[in-house]
Amino acid sequence: MLLQVLVDVDGRPLDVTVARSSGYRMLDEAARTQVLKRWRFQPALQDGQPVQALGLVPVEFTVRG
């Protein structure tokens, strides 16, 4: 799956949307929620200053048995 993430100047995700679904709504929502709550990013820089930016983040699921 692929998530589109709006990252704030401090590296916190402000908004996360599903750009390409895993095919399972529950997995998509779980990934989106975890990125919003727990992930931090290196903010983009413009002229040496942090700026808000959109990024694409691939998420891969693995089934363990």
CA 16 to chain centre: 5
pLDDT at 64: 86
Residue identified by tokens 């413009």 is 46
Q: Name the token pair of 59.
A: 């998420």
Transcribe 32-52 into DSSP letters.
Answer: HHHHHHH---PPEEETTEEE-
pLDDT at 33: 96
Q: In 3D, which of 35, 45, 30, 42 has the Cα closest to residue 15?
A: 35
Higher-pLDDT residue of 63, 20: 20
**Model confidence, pTM:** 0.89
Instruction: For 9-44, write each residue's pLDDT tens digit.
Output: 999 999 999 999 999 999 999 999 999 999 999 999
How far apart (Å, rounded) are the C-alpha atoms in residues 22 and 2? 8
